[in-house]
């Protein structure tokens, strides 16, 4: 048996599954936009969730994000973030979320989290490509 053919030993660490490869046409379906956070508050009854109001240039939307362990509402207002604008709305703890912000990290206990941000000079609503 070649080394790659040996079955995984019980309890052995496995590589995380990789997401499927997508083509450029599929990627272009994701509408990522610059948005400015204009308001932020905790979601009642939830310890991890914040309700954000964002300005997308031509409209305002609300997002629900599990970032309360990493940011206070006061730290968020005025930040320019990247939002997936064409994600189907979802109800989270009774609050409608009309998009998703992009962030890196924060998955493992104690790991830091960082919002994907842009310079203030980039206008709200600018498409990210």
CATH code at position 95: 2.40.50.140
Task: Give 33-68 pLDDT, tens digit per residue.
Answer: 999 999 999 999 999 999 999 999 999 999 999 999
Residue 20 lies in a domain: no
Task: Give 2-17 pLDDT, tens digit per residue.
Answer: 444 445 555 556 777 8
Q: Give residue 59's domain range.
A: 26-119
Return the closest-CA partner of residue 96 out of 34, 35, 53. Answer: 53
Residue 126 lies in a domain: no
In the Cβ-directed half-sphere of 111, how many Cα atoms lie within 13 Å? 9
Residue 38 lies in a domain: yes
83 Cβ contact partners less than 8 Å away, ≥ 6 residues apart: 32, 33, 34, 35, 54, 56, 61, 63, 99, 100, 101, 102
Averaged pLDDT of the chain: 90
Domain count, the chain: 1
């Amino acid at each position: 048996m070649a080394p790659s053919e040996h079955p995984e030993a019980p309890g052995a660490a496995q590589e995380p599954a990789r997401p499927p490869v997508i083509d450029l046409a599929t990627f272009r379906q994701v509408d990522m936009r610059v948005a400015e956070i204009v308001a932020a508050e905790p979601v009642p009854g939830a310890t991890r969730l914040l309700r954000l109001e964002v300005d997308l240039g031509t409209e305002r939307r609300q997002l629900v994000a599990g970032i309360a362990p990493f940011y206070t509402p006061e730290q968020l207002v005025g930040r320019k973030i990247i939002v997936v604008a064409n994600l189907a709305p979802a109800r989270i703890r009774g609050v409608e979320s009309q998009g998703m912000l992009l962030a890196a990290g924060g998955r493992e206990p104690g790991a830091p989290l960082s919002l994907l941000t842009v310079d203030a000079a980039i206008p709200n609503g600018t498409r990210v490509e």
